[in-house]
Amino acid sequence: MKRGEFLRSLGLSTSTLMAFYCLGTTMTACGSKDDDPNPDPDPNPGGGGGSGITGTTTGTAINFTVDMANSNNTKLKTNGGFIITGDVLVAKTTAGSYIALSKICTHEGNPVAYRSGSNDIFCQTHGSTFSIAGAVTNGPAATPLKTYTVTVSADGNTLTVKA
Ligand code: FES
């Protein structure tokens, strides 16, 4: 049981808990490292620092990798999740496949988003919608979104997105 859970199980108020947390911090700072039987867990689990994105994410020569172990990219492990990096929207569809498209709406250039409920791309500015293949399904946009290829590494830990 973690410290917070234990204190909450005692029925203590939030302000009392904060006092305990502060006291705990002070005590930890004063004691030797060997005194703490429950050292704090890794504050950045699955991290590795940075965004987990390496390469070119803007312009015409899109070519980058996504580190799936990086905590910034955990949404891509869940069907229906997506991230936006640079000019590109990367999503894991409700069917579990990866797609990547320009995030720049072809109407007036505002950012689009993936909608898991309808498995499509939506621009909230004026309501344009696009299929996951980039085709316009509802205006005012009239031009498809640019799409990119997504390749999953054999171990599933890295996505490569290319123009
Ligand atoms: S900018 Fe996207 S619909 Fe107008």
Q: What is the pLDDT of residues 136-153, one digit of tens each?
A: 999 999 999 999 999 999
pLDDT tens digits, one per residue of 109-130: 999 999 999 999 999 999 999 9
Query: At residue 99, does pLDDT exceed 50?
Result: yes
Residue nearest to atom 3 of ligand 1 (CA): 126
Query: pLDDT higher for 44 or 93?
Result: 93
| Pocket, ligand 1, Cβ cutoff 6 A | 105, 107-108, 110, 123, 125-128, 140-141
Give the chain as a 3 state SS string: CCHHHHHHHCCCCHHHHHHHHHHHHHHHHHCCHHHCCCCCCCCCCCCCCCCCEEEECCCCCCEEEEECCCHHHHHHHCCCCEEEECCEEEEECCCCCEEEEECECCCCCCECEEECCCCEEECCCCCCEECCCCCEEECCCCCCCCEEEEEECCCCCEEEEEC
Probe target for ligand 1 pocket from 120, 123, 124, 137, with the most ligand atoms within 8 Å of CB: 123
Tens-place pLDDT, residues 33-54: 445 444 444 444 434 458 899 9
Compute, in angstroms, the gap from residue 116 CA to the centroid of ligand 1.
19
